[in-house]
């Protein structure tokens, strides 16, 4: 990807840290990027730039609206007709976060049981797991626990960010929504997830949610890279995160393509 | 079974196991006619005759019940025989078509109708491969779309900096580039190396 970067569209530029949906179930309260991350991003202007990509997997029962959620954000469309996802699908969404180009590779998975043996192979290496349920169907909330377990089995639990998303807000009354949110927040806390209520149909909270995902995943991966290096500041110019020389650019290109094809 | 034109008397000559309820009615008609004739003759005997008449009627009733029951049983047995025949033929065909496993289905087995055009035919591995290929093609499409976007914007807004980087690249310069134009450099380099000859003149000058 690195060798070809048309400008990131204006509505995918993030400079401030996006806010949580509810303080009762959120991954962090800060309204700014981590001080080390900010410093690393600023270094970029005098050093060289790099491009990061995080893998996001979206799981949940069939017909809860995983594909609709992704399509609303990535394509800004909503299709009334239900079409079951076959196996897996993916989208790549390009952001610019704190001046750094950053991509989310969003994997949409089939909710139908019969595809589980295929989709589970795509869980590996996820930095973000989004578990989705239908606000109008409480059973789908109960199943999120299993979905998360399945997805976590393929990953190191400490290395993933987890989100719990209630969809189809437009379909439930505000009283019902509040009631279900209470249950969902309990589930989210158990799962150590951040909770969001959205509607792909109206678009409510969809962009806010994915921006939050992108910002948290970005910060998480930059911090992880910094941890890997010898010291927080010294390796920024020399580490492989921020600095990319000509030859390395080719390598990154190769490896990013490999990561798509191996999935 | 019964000839419509035959006279009721013929029923008396029939094989008892071929008898139908209609035959019993014919017999009762014949006997009834004879009893009527006797009844019309000398008086005094009518009492005994009518006694006999009741007994005969009773015997005919018993006969009627037996015959109809017998016929019903026969029909049922015939139906059962036909069903068993069909079932046997079906099992025989299946056994000839598939292997023994398909006939003795276990709890995790499924029968596939080979004549169903919508029957499952592809393996999981084939689906995996198709999906993988689809994903690869989609990834290539995304790359191509981005490239196109670069190309378009490069033509519409060619900046001096970009031309400088093309020249740098063309002369194989190893000077360090600034972060600001690194991105542009790689974009143009890509266009340059992939579309050399065709577009470089247009793009550059």
- Over the stretch A229-244, which tens digit does the pLDDT of each residue have? 644 444 444 444 444 3
Residue B143 to residue A4, Cβ atoms within 8 A: yes
Residue A3 to residue B127, Cβ atoms within 8 A: no
Q: How many angstroms separate the CA atoms of B204 and B52, rounded?
A: 130
Domain borders along chain B are 10-98, 122-158
The pLDDT, as a whole number, for residue B43 is 65
Count of CB contacts below 8 A, A vs B? 65
Given CB atoms, is A247 within the 8 Å cutoff of chain B?
A: no
The pLDDT, as a whole number, for residue A126 is 96
State the average pLDDT over residues B68-92.
Answer: 91
Average pLDDT taken over every residue of chain B: 72
Residue B135 to residue A49, Cβ atoms within 8 A: no
For the cut 70, the answer to whether the pLDDT of residue B104 exceeds it is no
Distance of CA A203 to the CA centre of its chain: 17
The pLDDT, as a whole number, for residue A129 is 98
User: Starting at the edge strand that comes first in sequence, how are the strands of the sheet with A194-197 ordered?
Assistant: A13-14, A88-97, A100-109, A52-60, A128-134, A161-167, A194-197
Query: Looking at beta carbons, which residues of chain B come within 8 Å of A256?
Result: none
Q: How many angstroms separate the CA atoms of B63 and B43, rounded?
A: 31
pTM of the complete model:
0.62
Of A135, A153, A152, A251, which is closest to residue A199 (Cα–Cα)?
A135
Q: pLDDT tens, B141-194?
A: 988 888 888 888 775 454 544 444 444 444 443 444 443 444 444 443 444 333
Q: How many angstroms separate the CA atoms of A138 and A134, rounded?
A: 7
The residue with tokens 């989310």 is A104
> Which percentage of chain B shows pLDDT scores above 70?
65
Of the residues B150, B186, B192, the best mutation for testing chain A's interface (the one with the most A CB atoms within 10 Å of its CB) is B186
Can you give the three-state secondary structure of B36-95, one letter per residue? HHHHCCCCCCHHHHHHHHHHHHHHHHHHHHHHHHHHHHHHHHHHHHHHHHHHHHHHHHHH
Q: Which of A98-107, A160-169, B24-33, B99-108 has the lowest mean pLDDT?
A: B99-108
Q: Residue A151 corresponds to which tokens in the numbers above?
A: 């997805």
Of the residues B120, B146, B172, B180, the best mutation for testing chain A's interface (the one with the most A CB atoms within 10 Å of its CB) is B146
* Reduced DSSP (H G I as helix, E B as strand, rest coil) percent helix, strand, coil of chain A, to 5: 40, 20, 40
Nearest to B124 among A3, A46, A117 (CB): A117
Map out the domains of chain A with their CATH numbers. 51-228 (3.40.50.300)
Which residue of chain B comes nearest to A45, CA vs CA?
B179
Cα separations (Å) of B191 from A80, A257, B198?
40, 19, 10
Q: Which of A67-71, A125-129, B76-80, B111-115 has the lowest mean pLDDT?
A: B111-115
Burial of residue B60, with CB atoms counted within 10 A of its CB: 0-12 exposed, 13-18 middle, 19 or more buried: middle
Q: How many angstroms separate the CA atoms of A75 and A149, rounded?
A: 30
Q: Which of A14-18, A83-87, A123-127, A229-233 has the lowest mean pLDDT?
A: A229-233
Query: Looking at beta carbons, which residues of chain B come within 8 Å of A261?
Result: 132, 135-136, 139
Q: How many angstroms separate the CA atoms of A145 and A150, rounded?
A: 9
Higher-pLDDT residue of A256 and B125 is B125
CATH topology of domain B10-98: Methane Monooxygenase Hydroxylase; Chain G, domain 1 (1.20.58)
The pLDDT, as a whole number, for residue B42 is 67
Average pLDDT taken over every residue of chain A: 85
Residue B118 C-beta-side C-alpha neighbours within 13 Å: 0
State the average pLDDT over residues B52-56.
Answer: 81
* Residue A171 near residue A136 (C-beta atoms within 8 A): yes
């Amino acid at each position: 990807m690195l060798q070809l970067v048309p400008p990131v569209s204006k509505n995918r530029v993030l400079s401030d840290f996006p806010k949580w949906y509810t303080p009762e179930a959120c991954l962090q309260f800060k309204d700014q990027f981590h001080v080390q991350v900010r410093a690393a991003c600023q270094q970029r202007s005098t050093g060289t730039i790099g491009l990061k990509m995080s893998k996001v997997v979206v799981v949940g029962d069939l017909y809860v609206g995983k594909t609709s959620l992704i399509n609303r954000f990535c394509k800004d469309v909503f299709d009334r007709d239900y079409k079951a996802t076959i196996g897996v699908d993916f989208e790549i969404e390009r952001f610019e976060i704190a001046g750094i180009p950053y991509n989310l590779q969003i994997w949409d998975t089939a909710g139908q049981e019969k595809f589980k043996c295929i989709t589970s192979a795509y869980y590996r290496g996820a930095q973000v797991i989004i578990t989705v349920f239908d606000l109008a169907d409480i059973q789908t909330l109960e199943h999120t626990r299993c979905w998360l377990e399945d997805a976590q089995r393929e990953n190191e639990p400490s290395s993933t960010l987890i989100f719990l998303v209630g969809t189809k807000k437009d379909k439930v009354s505000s009283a019902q929504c509040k009631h279900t949110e209470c249950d969902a927040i309990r589930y989210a806390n158990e799962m150590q997830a951040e909770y969001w209520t959205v509607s792909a149909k109206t678009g409510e909270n969809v962009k806010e949610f994915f921006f939050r995902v992108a910002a948290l995943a970005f910060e998480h991966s930059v911090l992880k890279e910094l941890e890997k290096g010898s010291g927080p500041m010294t390796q920024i110019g020399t580490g492989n995160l921020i600095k990319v020389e000509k030859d390395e650019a080719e390598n990154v290109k190769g490896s990013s393509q490999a990561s798509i094809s191996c999935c | 079974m019964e000839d419509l034109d035959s006279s009721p008397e013929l029923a008396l000559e029939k094989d008892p196991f071929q008898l139908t309820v209609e035959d019993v009615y014919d017999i009762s008609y014949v006997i009834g006619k004879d009893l009527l004739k006797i009844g019309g003759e000398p008086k005094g005997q009518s009492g005994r005759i009518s006694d006999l008449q009741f007994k005969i009627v009773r015997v005919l009733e018993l006969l009627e019940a037996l015959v109809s029951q017998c016929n019903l049983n026969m029909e049922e047995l015939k139906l059962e025989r036909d069903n068993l025949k069909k079932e046997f033929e079906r099992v025989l065909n299946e056994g000839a078509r598939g292997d023994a496993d398909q006939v003795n289905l276990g709890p995790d087995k499924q029968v596939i109708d080979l004549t169903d055009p919508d029957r499952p035919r592809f393996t999981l591995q084939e689906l995996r491969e198709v999906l993988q290929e689809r994903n690869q093609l989609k990834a290539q499409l995304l790359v191509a779309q981005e490239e196109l976007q670069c190309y378009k914007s490069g033509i519409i807004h060619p900046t001096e900096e970009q031309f400088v980087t093309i020249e740098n690249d063309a002369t194989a310069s190893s000077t360090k580039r600034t972060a600001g134009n690194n991105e542009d450099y790689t974009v143009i380099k890509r266009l340059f190396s992939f579309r050399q000859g065709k577009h470089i003149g247009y793009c550059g000058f």
